[in-house]
């Protein structure tokens, strides 16, 4: 959790940011094939015969010329932060629909600190009513972040965002206009497959298969290869569209 504060105009709201997402990856250790012993990654000094360096002895260095560095520690970065950069100061409110999802990075739940409930609830209700998102900038760690505050289901969420110059240029595709008959079939398929998005319907099936394989290995059983499906042959794009429409 990270403590911060939201401000808009003269209103100041101390808040807590809690990561909204927890990764569910299956973690594997790196093992030496011969000895079956764990392989460790260690930080070593390049110019001192591979001496292992402790984490507390490591500082950040910026190489401005080959072999020449200036050094920074956490205190140096803190000195650079103004009061504004330590605060999530909303610069403008925008329609949430105007934000392209490609700019979203990490998500955090936002909750008020003790004594800030009244101001927080006011901002939460007003933003939800107006369907607006607040755009701000703040420094988290050693990086300035563009952030978006928005309301979802009565909860305030902060999304860190990529800056405009961090998003790569869109690829240009000039393929012309598709034939009308193919377009009509594609639209029918899309309409027949349209429904409500419910995230509970989706789960990481491959992760479940990996966990099942781990249990099989523990019991001394071999992993059975999944059956390979036969590819469906289609004569043309039109044939593929017709068969797909029939299937859905």
Assigned domain for 51 exists: no
**Segment holding 134, helix H or strand E:** strand 132-140
Tokens 């940011």 sit on residue = 17
Last residue of a domain, one of 137, 166, 195: 166
Q: Identify whether residues 223 and 146 lie together within a single domain.
A: no
Range with lowest mean pLDDT among 15-24, 96-105, 126-135, 203-212: 203-212
What mean pLDDT comes out for the span 210-223? 86
pLDDT one-digit tens code per residue, 87-101: 898 999 999 999 999
State residue 242's pLDDT score.
85
24, pLDDT greater than 60: yes
pLDDT one-digit tens code per residue, 102-161: 999 999 999 999 889 999 999 999 999 999 999 999 887 667 889 999 999 999 999 999
Residues 6+ apart with CB under 8 A from 160: 104, 105, 106, 108, 140, 145, 146, 147
| DSSP per residue, 138-179 | EEETTEEEEEEEEEETTEEEEEEE--GGGSPPPPP----PPP
- What the block records as the tokens of 128 is 């939800």
Q: Identify whether residues 109 and 83 lie together within a single domain.
A: yes
Percent of the chain whose pLDDT exceeds 90: 38
Q: Identify whether residues 189 and 218 lie together within a single domain.
A: yes
Assigned domain for 50 exists: no
Q: Identify whether residues 9 and 98 lie together within a single domain.
A: yes
Assigned domain for 42 exists: no
Assigned domain for 30 exists: no
Q: In this predicted model, which residue has the larger pLDDT, 40 or 164?
A: 164
What mean pLDDT comes out for the span 168-192? 88
State residue 84's pLDDT score.
58
What mean pLDDT comes out for the span 211-229? 83
18, pLDDT greater than 80: yes
Q: Identify whether residues 133 and 184 lie together within a single domain.
A: no
State residue 224's pLDDT score.
80
Assigned domain for 205 exists: yes
State residue 217's pLDDT score.
83
Say what the pTM is. Answer: 0.73
Q: In this predicted model, which residue has the larger pLDDT, 1 or 78?
A: 1
Domain limits for position 225: 180-247
State residue 234's pLDDT score.
77
Which domain CATH number covers 96? 2.40.290.10
Helices (H), the chain: 74-80, 117-130, 180-192, 205-218, 237-247
> Could you tell me whether strands 88-95 and 2-8 are parallel, antiparallel, or unpaired per DSSP bridges?
parallel
Task: Using CB atoms within 10 Å of the CB of residue 103, give its burial: 0 to 12 exposed, 13 to 18 middle, 19+ buried.
Answer: middle
Assigned domain for 207 exists: yes
Q: Identify whether residues 6 and 121 lie together within a single domain.
A: yes
Q: Identify whether residues 132 and 211 lie together within a single domain.
A: no
Q: Identify whether residues 160 and 184 lie together within a single domain.
A: no
Assigned domain for 190 exists: yes
Q: Are 236 and 243 in contact (CB under 8 A)?
A: no
Q: Identify whether residues 141 and 199 lie together within a single domain.
A: no
Last residue of a domain, one of 110, 136, 166: 166
What mean pLDDT comes out for the span 76-91? 74
- What the block records as the tokens of 139 is 């420094």
Q: Identify whether residues 134 and 191 lie together within a single domain.
A: no
Q: Identify whether residues 124 and 184 lie together within a single domain.
A: no
Q: What are phi and psi of 144, to 5 degrees?
A: -75, 135
Assigned domain for 62 exists: no
Q: Round to whole Å and give the CA distance between 199 and 202.
A: 6
How many domains does the chain fold into? 2
Q: Identify whether residues 143 and 105 lie together within a single domain.
A: yes
State residue 85's pLDDT score.
58
Give the single-character DSSP code of 38. B
Last residue of a domain, one of 116, 142, 166: 166
């Amino acid at each position: 959790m990270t403590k911060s504060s939201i401000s808009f105009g003269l209103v100041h709201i101390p808040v807590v940011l809690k990561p909204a997402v927890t990764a569910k990856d299956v973690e594997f250790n790196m093992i030496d094939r011969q000895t079956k012993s764990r392989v460790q990654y260690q930080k070593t000094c390049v110019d001192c015969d591979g001496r292992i360096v402790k984490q507390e002895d490591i500082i950040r260095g910026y190489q401005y010329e080959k072999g020449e560095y200036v050094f920074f520690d956490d205190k140096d970065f803190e000195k650079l932060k103004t009061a504004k950069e330590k605060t999530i100061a909303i610069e403008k409110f925008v329609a949430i629909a105007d934000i392209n999802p490609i700019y979203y990075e990490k998500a955090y739940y936002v909750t008020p600190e003790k004594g800030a409930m009244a101001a927080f609830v006011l901002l939460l209700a007003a933003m939800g009513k107006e369907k607006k998102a607040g755009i701000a900038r703040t420094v988290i760690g050693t990086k300035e972040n563009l952030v978006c505050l928005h309301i979802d289901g009565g909860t305030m969420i902060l999304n860190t965002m990529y800056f405009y110059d961090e998003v790569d240029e869109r690829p240009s595709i000039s393929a012309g206009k598709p034939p009308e008959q193919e377009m009509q079939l594609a639209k029918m398929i899309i309409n027949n497959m349209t429904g409500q998005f419910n995230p509970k319907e989706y789960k990481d099936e491959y992760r479940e298969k990996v966990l099942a394989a781990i249990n099989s290995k523990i019991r001394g059983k071999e992993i059975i290869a999944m059956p390979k499906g036969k590819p469906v042959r289609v004569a043309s794009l039109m044939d593929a569209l017709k068969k797909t429409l029939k299937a859905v």
